[in-house]
Structure 1
Amino acid sequence: MKPSGQTNFVYFLILIALVAMIFMNINQDSSQTVISINELASQITSGNVSKIVEDENSLVVTLKDGSENIAIKESGATLVEQLLNYGVTADALNHSNISIEVKQPSEWGAIISFLGYILPFILVGAAFFFIFRQAQGSNNAAISFGKSRARMFSGDQPKVTFSDVAGVDEAKEELQEVVEFLREPQKFISLGARIPKGVLLVGPPGGGKTLLAKAVSGEAGVPFFSISGSEFVEMFVGVGASRVRDLFDQAKKHSPCIIFIDEIDAVGRHRGAGLGGSHDEREQTLNQMLVEMDGFDTDTNVIIMAATNRPDILDPALLRPGRFDRRVVLDRPDMRGRQAILNVHIKGKPLAPEVDLTVLAKSTPGFVGADLENLVNEAAILAARRNKKQIGQSEFEEAIERVIAGPERKSRLINEDEKRIIAYHEAGHAIVIAALPEADMVQKISIISRGMAAGYTISLPEDDRTLMSKNKMMAEMIGLLGGRASEEIVFNDITSGASNDIENVTKLARKMVTRLGMSPELGPMVYGQKDELVFLGREISEQRDYSEAVAETIDSEVQKLVTSAYKSAKEILTKYRSKLDEVANRLLEVETLSKDEFDKIFPAPIKKNQGIPKMAN
């Protein structure tokens, strides 16, 4: 840590004191004896003194035996006068051959003497000075405690523009009006138009909400105030409201500008839902924000942008017209959007000629912008680790698996029996998925540990789809249970390796019954309303709005779906038992099978009703 000016001043005072002490004692020898003037007079009378050196009031007396003593004379008289007063005769001084030497006064003597008197006062004054400065600093800190902590970025040289944001073309079109308003406000005001005062960016984490807000500022060339919602809330009531007022005051001074509040759900949650009553700090901060947002004039030219991935928990007063008028949704990008995002992130990176971004975009359904950025970075790291000059297709494919499942654990020791079980488990997944027309395409099978999985089977859809049919969900459940079914058929036993598969199957079956209305017995109804304590910020309970009889029916329907899926998986594997053995044995040999190698062993039927990507382990 770099020392401050005050600390340096203290060090300087200490140095002066040390120098003064050194100069005061530089000529003092610890072996010399201090004698009085009358003792000196006796030594002169006895003829024992050979030399006297007078240095102002200090006398260095050298005896005839070579020893030295120190004596101090009075300052008001000369040495000879004092010796005469103490009984030394003039004859004794004249005939004793005593050499008397008088030194010139040192230039530092007066300074050292002065410092000896003034230094204590300087030190006391410095102590009082620092005490008062500390008190003043505490007062300033108390005053600045309620100041906004927003960071302002100048719009003179924008670093992020719309060209740096890809995969959200519709959102960019929505925000283009905001840019035009900030550039030419009179164009809208002259026609009586009012631009939305607030724009709420909604989307999954990593979808590019913050990046898009910076791009709006960069395109408009205006100041950009960035702050997180959590920076408003403090332990003391009223601090957050004060920071809100200060933020909006700063924004009005730099108008036109943009205020961007990231993770606004930290301060904008539904009022009255917490455990702190209606007067806690967060709600007071929200109240002040509501007042400030609705108090803008039409010529203020300050636009509020906020980002959240939980719009459902925001206070309704925050979303009403006049505050956040417009909601811009940043959904997960489709295949073309992912390819455009990859084009943005590969800028400046050396790629091998065989790299095909179209293939990578098809292989990453469900990835958001942050995932794709991480994917490109992981591929670059792998290429550097392998001492390559360019990033190849193999690095990108390996990076996809690292992002989905984690790094390979080649050092994990697995005995031959467990390795055979894992091979049949993953082969069971692959055979069942490949045999179902509604299931996805098998892309890769591996029995190498990766992350927490002992092995994995990756299946990806050919196209992105928004809707998911019941047949597709049933095919997914059957595919997930293929590993457990394979273990039972081949080894006549089951292991704990299918725990995650069973958990996912159970969740999907319950969701089909209770949330999606896919049970013939219960019909198209939703059972159970989820309650959420906003104070804790997560769904922790479910309100049962159905009877015990319906609860039994739900359990029965879920069990039917899971049992039916497991039965179908066993039937498929029994039918293709030879192919199951062939795939498992091949996995034991090479440990990893690509799509082409798997298709040579078990050609897949024509797929239909493609859905979202899944990974079984």
Structure 2
Amino acid sequence: MNNKKVISLWPYLLILAILAVLVSYGTGNNTTTFNYNEFMNKAEKLDFDKVEMSMGSTVIDVSGTYKQGKESKSFKVSVPNTETNVKWLTETLSKNKDTVLTTRDPNQESFLMKFFINVFPYLLLAGIAIFFFTKMNSGGSNKAFEFSKSKARIEGNIKVRFKDVAGCDEEKEEVKEIIDYLKDPKKFTDMGARIPKGMLMVGPPGTGKTLLAKAVAGEANVPFFSISGSDFVEMFVGTGASRVRDMFKKAQQTAPCIVFIDEIDAVGRQRGAGMGGGNDEREQTLNQLLVEMDGMGENKGIVIIAATNRPDVLDPALLRSGRFDRQITVNLPDKKGRYEILKVHARNKKLAPDCSLESLAKRTPGFSGADLENVLNEGAILAVRDKRKMITMEDLDEAIDRVMMGPAKKSRKYTDKEKRLVAFHEAGHAVIGIKLEDADMVEKVTIIPRGEAGGYNLMTPREEKMMPTKADFMAQITGLMGGRVAEEVVFDEISAGASNDIQKATKIAKAMVRSWGMSSLGPIQYDDGTGNVFLGRDYGSGSNYSGEIAYEIDKEIRKIINECYERAKQIITEHIDLLTLIADTLIEEETITSEQINNLVKYGTITSPEDALKKQAMANDVEQQIQADNEAAQEVLHDDIQHYDDTPSSQDEEKKKQEKVSFEEAMKELTKSDDYDETKE
């Protein structure tokens, strides 16, 4: 570490040493400069050693050394060039025989020689200093002269295509003209058409706005400039505007191209809307962006694509015609779009045969493209963690829960009372979802803690609607009240577990009254409809209704909540047996699926009779197979025992061998006797 510090400091040390030498050279020069009169008075008394006279046209430059005691000192003087002075100097300087006198004609010296002698050493030192300073600045982060340069990253040969962007077919249709224009602009100019200079992509985070912009560049095969809105603004005044100019200059040099500005709301917010008048530096940057877009000209081969999820805070001048002409809304995908997105992200995943992407798309309403990619990635991580070769449906099911609610906290232990309370709370949501026609369907219920929630109830819409009705919202609020109602009906007390349910229900009720006109107050909007608060614009702005109307709004919100609460209480009371059955099953199983819940409703058990018969048949087949295997094993064992019994022992074998030897010996003796010959005949 110390060596690196020394290496980084040595250029500074070298420069300081050079400066010290120059200073010491300048201050250590003991040359005495005489004026003309002074030299005339002292010349007779000086003992000259070496003297040089440079004969100019009007002046004689005399320089050299003289002795003063034991020291030798330098001197120089300028004497008018007259015949008398030349004679006097020659006599005076030559009076001592040891003096070396040299006469030089300055006209004989070349200009180049003078330059090298007098100027070049200083230029050389200055060049060395500049070189070292440049090296030090370029090697580190002290790029003081590059603040005005654009930070846009240029990418060529983009590999992303429309096939990599799923779930936004209508959005891709909107940008096809841009691709045709970048490929062949002549057919547009011949028709007199002006291609949009800018396109603004609006949508929730993670819906694929940046990916779609890259796909446009990939399909058109043009360079892709990408920059964030926050990259324009720095602490130095004027930096943002200069970076905008530099970015458009580079874009013009590489046209046709696409310039993509992500999170443009960071620099394109309404001017004059900040606290105390706004940020002047940001507004200057926005002004420069507007000017550059106006000065870009028509059909110049440059298309500006910007993305934001806060279009309500953008300056109106940015959205007028001639700048960002076209606004494309990239919404959350529907069921079909989610299925297509899952297929794109599953191309490099090893999925088990039981994995159904269509079922996964059905269970993930409200998920963005980024969320769906995260689900598949979490499933792959879980499969690797459990050392499996393929991703199973159980991994994906767990991945959905992790993305929505966080990992399961199995280490957190309930008391028996808390476990029963949570089970009935979640069962209350499930009963409302089962028995209320317009309520969301129950997909999964668990009492395993996740995140801040003690339990988790996954409910999905029966069908995804573009325009939900009042009945849909009322059913949704009723379903949210189901858990709290179940606690009150069964335990005659309430817990804090319903806080999130109450928050969601109140938000829906407020929107019904203030925004959608679904109350007795009539079709009147009592909020500004701007969504998130923009402090620079909304801070300090009063409500657009009176205090009396505010009281009526509160009454209507309370009326909606109370009505849904009573409806949920009626349903829970009528189906208390189903509530108890689901809760007891949750206490035992901890997690039940929609299929098991349906079996509880129809048959009272988590398995249907058909499934029970199938399981019994499978068990019988297994038992019969085991019995057959046992019988076969017994037969094999019996045969082995019989074979062992039939096999002669080693003693019998030895006895037979002895009997055989005795018989052979008897036959030999018989063949030698006379009786054998007679018998043979």
TM-score range (shorter-chain normalised) is 0.7 to 0.9
Q: Secondary structure of the residue that 1:529 maps to in structure 2?
A: coil
Superposed displacement of residue 130, structure 1: 8.3
Q: Which moved more, 1:473-482 or 1:244-253?
A: 473-482
Change (3 A) 1:410 1:306: same
Q: What's 2:552 paired with?
A: 553
Judge conservation of contact 1:182–1:220 (CA < 8 Å) in 2: yes
Q: What's 1:226 paired with?
A: 226
Q: What's 1:70 paired with?
A: none
Task: Specify the code of the residue in structure 1 equivalent to 2:518.
Answer: M
Change (3 A) 1:517 1:139: closer
Percent identical: 52
Q: What's 1:313 paired with?
A: 313
Q: What's 1:574 paired with?
A: 573
Change (3 A) 1:603 1:204: farther
Q: What's 2:257 paired with?
A: 257
Matches within 5 A, 1:404-553: 404-520=404-520, 522-529=521-528, 536=535, 543-553=542-552
Superimposed CA distance per residue, residues 501-527 of structure 1 (whole angstroms, 9 cap, x where no aligned partner): 11221221122111111112x111111
Change (3 A) 1:589 1:188: same
Task: Specify the code of the residue in structure 2 equivalent to 1:510.
Answer: K
Q: What's 1:146 paired with?
A: 148
Q: Distance in 2 between matches of 1:191 and 1:488?
A: 72
Superposed displacement of residue 277, structure 1: 2.6
Task: Specify the code of the residue in structure 2 equivalent to 1:260.
Answer: F
Q: Which moved more, 1:188-197 or 1:273-282?
A: 273-282
RMSD: 3.0
Q: Distance in 1 between matches of 2:469 and 2:540?
A: 28
Q: Distance in 1 between matches of 2:531 and 2:161?
A: 38
Q: Distance in 2 between matches of 1:412 and 1:422?
A: 14
Change (3 A) 1:279 1:494: closer
Q: Which moved more, 1:328-337 or 1:252-261?
A: 328-337
Judge conservation of contact 1:422–1:455 (CA < 8 Å) in 2: yes
Task: Specify the code of the residue in structure 2 equivalent to 1:248.
Answer: F
Q: Distance in 2 between matches of 1:200 and 1:478?
A: 39
Matches within 5 A, 1:78-97: none
Q: Distance in 2 between matches of 1:577 and 1:146?
A: 71
- Residue 292 (1) aligns with residue 297 (2): no
Q: Distance in 2 between matches of 1:443 and 1:595?
A: 5
Q: What's 1:7 paired with?
A: 7
Q: What's 1:615 paired with?
A: none
Superposed displacement of residue 407, structure 1: 0.9
Matches within 5 A, 1:391-406: 391-406=391-406
Q: What's 1:207 paired with?
A: 207
- Residue 325 (1) aligns with residue 357 (2): no
Q: What's 1:380 paired with?
A: 380
Task: Specify the code of the residue in structure 2 equivalent to 1:434.
Answer: I
Q: Distance in 2 between matches of 1:225 and 1:266?
A: 18
Change (3 A) 1:357 1:503: same
Judge conservation of contact 2:313–2:534 (CA < 8 Å) in 1: no
Superposed displacement of residue 547, structure 1: 2.1
Change (3 A) 1:360 1:541: farther
Judge conservation of contact 1:362–1:462 (CA < 8 Å) in 2: no
Q: Which moved more, 1:146-155 or 1:274-283?
A: 274-283
Judge conservation of contact 2:275–2:536 (CA < 8 Å) in 1: no
Judge conservation of contact 1:255–1:301 (CA < 8 Å) in 2: yes
Superimposed CA distance per residue, residues 136-155 of structure 1 (whole angstroms, 9 cap, x where no aligned partner): 76998332111101001113
Superposed displacement of residue 537, structure 1: 7.3
Q: Distance in 2 between matches of 1:500 and 1:542?
A: 29
Judge conservation of contact 1:532–1:538 (CA < 8 Å) in 2: no
Q: Distance in 1 between matches of 2:550 and 2:409?
A: 43
Judge conservation of contact 2:194–2:299 (CA < 8 Å) in 1: no
Q: Distance in 2 between matches of 1:298 and 1:130?
A: 45
Superimposed CA distance per residue, residues 558-609 of structure 1 (whole angstroms, 9 cap, x where no aligned partner): 11111111111111111111111111111111111111111122259xxxxx
Superposed displacement of residue 529, structure 1: 3.0
Matches within 5 A, 1:326-405: 326-405=326-405
Q: Secondary structure of the residue that 1:350 maps to in structure 2?
A: coil
Q: Distance in 2 between matches of 1:582 and 1:502?
A: 25
Judge conservation of contact 1:530–1:539 (CA < 8 Å) in 2: no
Change (3 A) 1:370 1:539: farther
Judge conservation of contact 1:225–1:260 (CA < 8 Å) in 2: yes
Judge conservation of contact 2:515–2:529 (CA < 8 Å) in 1: no
Task: Specify the code of the residue in structure 1 equivalent to 2:169.
Answer: D
Q: Distance in 2 between matches of 1:578 and 1:528?
A: 44
Q: Secondary structure of the residue that 1:297 maps to in structure 2?
A: coil
Q: Secondary structure of the residue that 2:324 maps to in structure 1?
A: coil
Judge conservation of contact 2:207–2:330 (CA < 8 Å) in 1: yes
Task: Specify the code of the residue in structure 2 equivalent to 1:491.
Answer: F
Aligned residue pairs, count: 492
Superposed displacement of residue 463, structure 1: 2.4
Q: Distance in 2 between matches of 1:126 and 1:327?
A: 55
Change (3 A) 1:556 1:323: same
Q: What's 2:170 paired with?
A: 170
Q: Secondary structure of the residue that 2:243 maps to in structure 1?
A: helix
Q: What's 2:38 paired with?
A: none
Superimposed CA distance per residue, residues 242-301 of structure 1 (whole angstroms, 9 cap, x where no aligned partner): 000000000001111111100011111111111253670011000000000011123521
Change (3 A) 1:311 1:181: same
Q: Secondary structure of the residue that 2:354 maps to in structure 1?
A: coil
Q: Which moved more, 1:462-471 or 1:315-324?
A: 462-471
TM-score, scaled to structure 2: 0.68
Superposed displacement of residue 132, structure 1: 4.4
Q: Secondary structure of the residue that 2:295 maps to in structure 1?
A: coil
Change (3 A) 1:211 1:533: closer
Q: Distance in 2 between matches of 1:136 and 1:395?
A: 52
Judge conservation of contact 2:229–2:266 (CA < 8 Å) in 1: yes
Task: Specify the code of the residue in structure 2 equivalent to 1:290.
Answer: L
Superposed displacement of residue 546, structure 1: 2.0
Superposed displacement of residue 458, structure 1: 1.1
Q: Distance in 1 between matches of 2:568 and 2:349?
A: 45
Q: Distance in 2 between matches of 1:537 and 1:313?
A: 9
Judge conservation of contact 1:274–1:535 (CA < 8 Å) in 2: no
Task: Specify the code of the residue in structure 1 equivalent to 2:528.
Answer: Q
Larger Rg over CA atoms: 2
Q: Distance in 1 between matches of 2:460 and 2:551?
A: 36
Q: Distance in 1 between matches of 2:541 and 2:569?
A: 35
Q: Distance in 2 between matches of 1:531 and 1:204?
A: 15
Q: What's 1:217 paired with?
A: 217
Judge conservation of contact 1:529–1:543 (CA < 8 Å) in 2: no
For CA contacts below 8 A with separation 6 or more, give which structure has more relative contact order.
Answer: 1
Q: Secondary structure of the residue that 2:167 maps to in structure 1?
A: coil
